[in-house]
């Protein structure tokens, strides 16, 4: 019997959703940083095995959204409920549940599909400290399973996959078995750049940045891809920080982005970066659509 189906990954910001997806797929299909709200779009990862095919959908963190960008992110996360066979709801072992966890659970109240709770980051705590989290989860919602694990180390990942298979129907192969994501090369290149910006900058800048790929041209004869991208920020002061003293920050962002792209695409990369100020773009509907943050 060949099984297949769609599995959504939900939870508050910075809980380990993207790390879990990358760990399961065995490829970096979603950028992951230590900062909340790294994921802004729905990201697909495809797990192919002899048993079947699981299509995972990583989502932005569910939180109390105020700006149009954040509202878009939360809407994107919740919209997958109607498109999946199973939901994975992730909480943290090292912090316990908080208001964003409760907000996520509230959004689950009327759904009919199986929901599996995952207690992530158990590598950071003692085993006994996980028991109160399990008890609280059981009181809040009827989860089909509650599984402690570590997305970072892969601990209990096989157990999770075995449980998921139990809830998937017999079905077709939706994607070719050598495909691990539906994200375009252009999207992946832009996300790599945004990840480096998030890792290298501080305060509001990581959340005020949008990457637009101006060009992505492959020269097979030279084994080279020419990538041109614009880093959009909201304020003139942010532009100065992104560029840095004598262009030092922009050079470092470019260097790290280029090296990762070369590893990912297995070819040489020529990368050109530009910086543009788009005033208050996170609050402007027209700019959000221009940068790809449009409601489906």
Task: State the average pLDDT for the chain.
Answer: 95
> What percent of the chain has pLDDT above 70?
99
In the listed set 137, 167, 197, which residue is the last one of a domain according to the structure?
167
**Is 172 a member of any domain?**
no
Same domain, 74 and 219: no
Q: How far apart are CA 290 and CA 161, in angstroms?
A: 38
Q: What is the pLDDT of residues 156-199, one digit of tens each?
A: 999 999 999 999 999 999 999 999 999 999 999 999 999 999 99
Q: How far apart are CA 176 and CA 156, in angstroms?
A: 27
Confidence check: pLDDT of 261 > 90: yes
- What local confidence, expressed as pLDDT, does residue 96 receive? 87
Domains identified in the chain, total number: 2
Q: What is the pLDDT of residues 57-114, one digit of tens each?
A: 999 999 999 999 999 999 999 999 999 999 999 999 999 899 999 999 999 999 999 9
Q: What is the pLDDT of residues 265-291, one digit of tens each?
A: 999 999 999 999 999 999 999 999 999
Q: Once rounded to an integer, what is the mean pLDDT over residues 222-240? A: 97
Same domain, 116 and 157: yes
Beta strands 268-277 and 224-233 are: parallel
Give the CATH number for residue 24. 3.40.50.300
- What local confidence, expressed as pLDDT, does residue 255 receive? 98
Alpha carbon 53 to chain centroid, angstroms: 20
Same domain, 200 and 86: no
Q: How far apart are CA 176 and CA 52, in angstroms?
A: 12
Confidence check: pLDDT of 21 > 90: yes
Give the CATH number for residue 215. 3.30.300.20
pLDDT band of 127, cuts 50, 70, 90: confident
Confidence check: pLDDT of 295 > 60: no
Q: Once rounded to an integer, what is the mean pLDDT over residues 220-234? A: 96
Same domain, 11 and 155: yes
Q: How far apart are CA 3 and CA 172, in angstroms?
A: 7
Same domain, 155 and 243: no
SS3 115: strand
**Is 295 a member of any domain?**
no
Same domain, 208 and 145: no
Same domain, 54 and 154: yes
Beta strands 52-58 and 43-49 are: antiparallel
Q: Once rounded to an integer, what is the mean pLDDT over residues 128-148? A: 96
Same domain, 134 and 230: no
What contacts 39, CB < 8 A, 6 or more positions away? 17, 18, 30, 31, 58, 59, 60, 61, 73
Same domain, 140 and 211: no
- In 3D, which of 214, 206, 241, 230 has the Cα closest to residue 278? 230
What contacts 49, CB < 8 A, 6 or more positions away? none
What contacts 116, CB < 8 A, 6 or more positions away? 86, 87, 88, 89, 143, 144, 145, 146, 147, 160, 163, 164, 167
Q: How far apart are CA 31 and CA 15, in angstroms?
A: 13
What contacts 285, CB < 8 A, 6 or more positions away? 68
Same domain, 33 and 95: yes
In the listed set 167, 194, 209, which residue is the last one of a domain according to the structure?
167
Helix (H) or strand (E) holding 206, with range, is: none
Same domain, 152 and 259: no
Contact call for residues 8 and 83 (beta carbons, < 8 A): yes
Confidence check: pLDDT of 153 > 70: yes
Same domain, 259 and 116: no
In the listed set 167, 202, 235, which residue is the last one of a domain according to the structure?
167
pTM beyond cutoff 0.85? yes
Structural domain that includes position 201:
185-290
């Amino acid at each position: 019997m060949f099984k297949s189906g769609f599995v959504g990954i939900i939870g508050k910001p910075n809980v380990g959703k993207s790390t879990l997806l990358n760990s399961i797929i065995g490829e970096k299909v979603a950028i992951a940083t230590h900062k909340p709200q790294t994921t802004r779009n729905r990201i697909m990862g495809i797990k192919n095995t002899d048993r079947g095919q699981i299509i995972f959908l990583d989502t932005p963190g569910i939180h109390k959204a105020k700006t149009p960008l954040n509202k878009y992110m939360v809407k994107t996360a919740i919209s997958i409920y109607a498109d999946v066979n199973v939901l994975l709801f992730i909480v943290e072992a090292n912090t316990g549940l908080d208001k964003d966890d409760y907000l996520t659970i509230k959004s689950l109240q009327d759904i009919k599909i199986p929901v599996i709770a995952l207690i992530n980051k158990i590598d950071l705590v003692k085993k006994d400290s996980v028991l109160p989290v399990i008890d609280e989860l059981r009181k809040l919602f009827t989860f089909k399973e509650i599984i402690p694990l570590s997305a970072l180390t892969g601990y209990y990942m096989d157990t999770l996959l075995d449980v998921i298979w139990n809830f998937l129907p017999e079905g077709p192969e939706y994607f070719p078995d050598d495909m691990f994501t539906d994200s375009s090369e252009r999207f992946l290149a832009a996300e790599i750049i945004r990840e480096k910006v998030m890792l290298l900058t501080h305060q509001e800048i990581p959340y005020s940045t949008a990457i637009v790929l101006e060009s992505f041209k492959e020269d097979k004869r030279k084994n080279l891809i020419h990538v041109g991208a614009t880093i959009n920020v909201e304020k003139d002061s942010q532009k100065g920080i992104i560029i840095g003293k004598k262009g030092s920050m922009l050079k470092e962002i470019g260097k790290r982005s280029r090296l990762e792209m070369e590893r990912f695409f297995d070819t040489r990369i020529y990368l050109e970066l530009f910086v543009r100020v788009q005033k208050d773009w996170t609050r402007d509907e027209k700019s959000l659509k221009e940068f790809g943050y449009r409601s489906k």
